[in-house]
Amino acid sequence: MNRLIRPLAAASLVFGLCTAVFAEDLESVEKQIIAAWAKHKTMTAKITSDGHFEVGDMKMETKAEGTLETAREGDKHFLRMEMKTTMTRKSGDQESRMEQNTSVVADGEFAYTTTDNAGQTVVMKTKIDPLMTGEPKALLDQLRKEYELKLLPDDTVGGRKTWVIQATPQKEEVPPGAPSRYILHFDQEHGLLIKQGSVTADGKPVSTTTYSDLKFDVKIDPERFKFKKPEGAQIIDRTGKPE
């Protein structure tokens, strides 16, 4: 019996040490991501995104492209994102197509999301969500509430070395066709999330978003972060303060 217990105990000790080292590695990488991100004050990038959702005979495809500009002054965050999205829906022999323009402007206090769809313009006014600013600590802290995080081997995206973190839902079951894993690529030089993707339980891709043509600490006209209400737009205030 002792001959059996000793190898098992040794294996348990090795497994425990490996788990501890892995946890420290993940924690260390997170600290490096946060430190790298804090070094730059402004950033511009191009965004490309595509998505696929399928349930039964219904398929939804989305493709989007646009630009992103961000800046920080102290604890204030500024942002401007402009995206054009094309959505195609197929159900049996029926197919429909829709285009939508979306812009987000964060002025350091509030965020304004403007959606132009079929000639109707709607603006949603909200408080600035730290997640929309790209702040990695806020993103990882939020993910950790509902997902298990795991460090994967380093990768390269667009010629940039990246740290890779996988996020898996803590819930055992997810709806059919919904993402069961998210893969996040953080640029090792600047700490920016430059690629994020999701897949279903059987490995089928659901969505991919990539940031390219990255430029850091460039001059951005402050007017880019000032919201200007589109003529005739309806504003929905979610801040609790009147417009």
pLDDT of residue 179: 81
Residue type, 71: A
- For the domain that residue 194 is a member of, what is the CATH number? 2.50.20.10
Q: Is the pLDDT of residue 11 over 50?
A: no
Looking at per-residue confidence, does 132 or 154 come out higher? Answer: 154
In a domain, 160, yes or no: yes
- DSSP character string of 165-218: EEEEESSS---TTS-SEEEEEEETTT--EEEEEEE-TTS-EEEEEEEEEEEES-
In a domain, 183, yes or no: yes
Whole domain around residue 227: which residue ranges? 24-237
In a domain, 1, yes or no: no
In a domain, 14, yes or no: no
DSSP reduced 3-state for 26: helix
Q: List, in sequence order, the alpha helices (H) in the chain.
A: 2-38, 136-146
In a domain, 2, yes or no: no
In a domain, 191, yes or no: yes
Sole residue written with tokens 């399928």: 54
Mean pLDDT for 192-198 is 95
pLDDT of residue 3: 47
184 pLDDT tier (thresholds 50, 70, 90): very high
How many separate domains does the chain show? 1
Closest residue by Cα to residue 69 from 226, 196, 186:
226
| pTM as predicted | 0.82
The model's pLDDT over 33-80, given as tens digits with 9 standing for 90+, comes to 999 999 999 999 999 999 998 877 889 999 999 999 999 998 899 999
In a domain, 3, yes or no: no
In a domain, 131, yes or no: yes
